[in-house]
Structure 1
Amino acid sequence: MKKLIFSFLLSVACSFGALAQIQTPAASPEQTLTQSVGLSSVTVQYSRPAMRGRTIFGDLVPLDKLWRTGANKNTLVTFESDATVGGSPLKAGTYALYTVPSKDEWTVYFYTDTENWGLPKPWDENKIAAVYNVKAQSLDTSVESFTITIDKVTDSGAHLTLSWENMSVAIPFGFDTVSAVMQTIERTMNGPAAGDYYQAAVYFLNADKDINKAKTWIDKAIAMSEKPAYWYYRQKALIYAKSGDKKGAIAAAERSMELAQAAGSQDYVAMNKKSLAEWTK
């Protein structure tokens, strides 16, 4: 009987041991970041090894040799739309990111085979979708964990920045935002609403496109609106001023200020006052 009980308790203990698992923090935790850029986006998935008192470049990461650019599975970069990297075209899709670090310059590879743990074996030159050489920058402060950020974001591009220890590189990439916007404008203008005309006019104003088209569209936006808002007239004033029609700009700014005052928008009142002071000199 004692043997039976002992056997039962032993089997229960073994079963519990099989189910229980000790969980500890990952040595190189995963991170995913997504950044909107213009009408598109870029997503980065990578693991972040830490210095932990070690020398990184020239020791843990050899110089002038291919590096996985992170830890564990290969770092992935996904471009939602067709892009350019350092001016070279890159199709929309997901790529593995590999680099060859050196003291003064890094070589950056966007690689089509994304299912590698570490470096591809063998390395296939035919799978390189884009390659870019970028100058390395020295940092004043040390970066403990390998870090990828998306910086200097504009309507048409940004920088993919890699930083670790005392070194950083910034990889410029871009999207053809102007063409994308123009396509949406052309599609929408087949049956546009007031808001469509307004958005198209404001885009043309800010992107330094045909200002006369912008005038036509902002006028249509106001004409089609039952109660045009003060921000419609504010943009009309700016568009007319840019086109050289100062009289029209003043009239639109005065109307915008009147509507903004009634709506309690003191920011717009102040903006219009400032513009009127400039245009009535």
Structure 2
Amino acid sequence: MKKFCSIIAALSMALAIALPLSAQIQTPAPSPTAEVKTKVGLTDVTLLYSRPSIKGRVVFSADKTAVVPFGSMWRTGANSATKISFGDDITVGGVAIKKGDYALFTSPGATEWKVMFFKYDSPGAGDYGDKTAVATWTLKPQKLSEKVETFTLDINDQTLDKANINIMWENTKVSIPVSADVDAKVKASIDRVMAGPSSNDYSAAATYYLTTKKELNKALEWIQKANAMTAKEPQFWTLRTESLILAELGKKKEAIDVAMRSLAAAKEAKNQDYISMNEASIAQWKK
């Protein structure tokens, strides 16, 4: 019994030592992180920001004790710099913005807000004060009829190619208009599909049929279309695929002719793997 009690005591002491090292107390974040993802037209737009709440304070005011005094440079959220990402080039407030990540800062005022995009290179909000903005806009704030307790960014008021990035807190809303060039993308997509399969599509289909030994005559038709569609000389790897299909079909002489072209192209590209594979195949098919 004494031995058992000693074991229990030892285990209790070990747990008492280990728990402070491994246990972590979790509490709700005062300004939880939020992520908003959507498309404007065909362009991916993502907002990553933290959401402070009013908690009885004055948010926007000329008073220096306000959460965000007029004229101050604000990270437009809490904690880290607010990040906005565009998957393609886009137009924001009439200004062309390149695809990429940006830090969103604002300088609120009673009758107008200054909105700024900086190239995003750090989550630290204090790292942007001495940097030059990629683009700056002056926008009119709107007064909301209902109070927004928790700071909110959303992407709303969407049409086929337009939307607003809305900044909302307390009784204030500021909308940043964005638009995407949908017509050019849709037309390019239509033209691509209507033009039929690309050389890569034909090559991939032919390679699959060669690998699975299915309908080799169809595979030959596809790889020859792929090689004929190449702007200049066909690539050495697609020529090799054609030679292998010809060999599988028993057309050794034609296979050697195409393999010789693949070999010459591989030598020009200094690709030793394809040089060796073609030389081995040519030697085998000549037997």
1:43 Cα offset (Å): 0.8
Q: Quick one: which of 51, 54, 59 aligns to 1:56?
A: 59
Normalising by structure 2, we get a TM-score of 0.62
Contact 1:85 1:130 in 2 (8 A): no
Instruction: Identify if the C-alpha distance between structure 1 residues 3 and 137 changes in structure 2 by more than 3 Å, giving closer, same or farther.
Output: same
Structure 1 position 149 matched with structure 2 position 154 = yes
Contact 1:67 1:119 in 2 (8 A): no
1:38 Cα offset (Å): 1.6
Contact 1:49 1:146 in 2 (8 A): yes
Task: Report sequence identity in percent.
Answer: 38
1:12 Cα offset (Å): 3.1
Q: Which moved more, 1:135-144 or 1:115-124?
A: 115-124
Structure 1 position 171 matched with structure 2 position 185 = no
Q: Quick one: which of 96, 100, 108 aligns to 1:89?
A: 96
Question: Aligned residue for 2:34?
Answer: 31
- For 2:169 and 2:27, locate their aligned partners in 1 and report how far apart those are by CA, in whole Å: 24
Question: Aligned residue for 1:186?
Answer: 191
1:37 Cα offset (Å): 1.9
Question: Aligned residue for 1:227?
Answer: none
Structure 1 position 118 matched with structure 2 position 121 = no
Gaps of 5+ in 1: 193-281
> Aligned with 1:102: secondary structure?
coil
Question: Aligned residue for 1:203?
Answer: none
Instruction: Identify if the C-alpha distance between structure 1 residues 3 and 121 changes in structure 2 by more than 3 Å, giving closer, same or farther.
Output: farther
Normalising by structure 1, we get a TM-score of 0.63
TM superposition outliers: structure 1 runs of 4+ over 6 Å: 1-8
Question: Aligned residue for 2:47?
Answer: 44
Contact 1:74 1:114 in 2 (8 A): no
Gaps of 5+ in 2: 198-287
Contact 1:37 1:155 in 2 (8 A): yes
Question: Aligned residue for 1:244?
Answer: none
Question: Aligned residue for 1:13?
Answer: 16
Equivalent runs, 1:98-113 vs 2, <5 Å: 98-113=105-120
Structure 1 position 135 matched with structure 2 position 140 = yes
Contact 1:49 1:71 in 2 (8 A): yes
Instruction: Identify if the C-alpha distance between structure 1 residues 182 and 92 changes in structure 2 by more than 3 Å, giving closer, same or farther.
Output: same
Per-residue CA shift, 1:210-257, capped at 9, x if unaligned?
xxxxxxxxxxxxxxxxxxxxxxxxxxxxxxxxxxxxxxxxxxxxxxxx
Q: Quick one: which of 43, 67, 77 aligns to 2:74?
A: 67
Per-residue CA shift, 1:24-63, capped at 9, x if unaligned?
0110011111112222221111110000111111201111
> Aligned with 1:119: secondary structure?
helix
Q: AA paired with 2:35? A: T
Instruction: Identify if the C-alpha distance between structure 1 residues 186 and 4 changes in structure 2 by more than 3 Å, giving closer, same or farther.
Output: closer
Report the count of equivalent residues.
Answer: 190
- For 1:5 and 1:137, locate their aligned partners in 2 and report how far apart those are by CA, in whole Å: 67
- For 1:106 and 1:121, locate their aligned partners in 2 and report how far apart those are by CA, in whole Å: 18
- For 1:26 and 1:167, locate their aligned partners in 2 and report how far apart those are by CA, in whole Å: 24
1:76 Cα offset (Å): 0.8
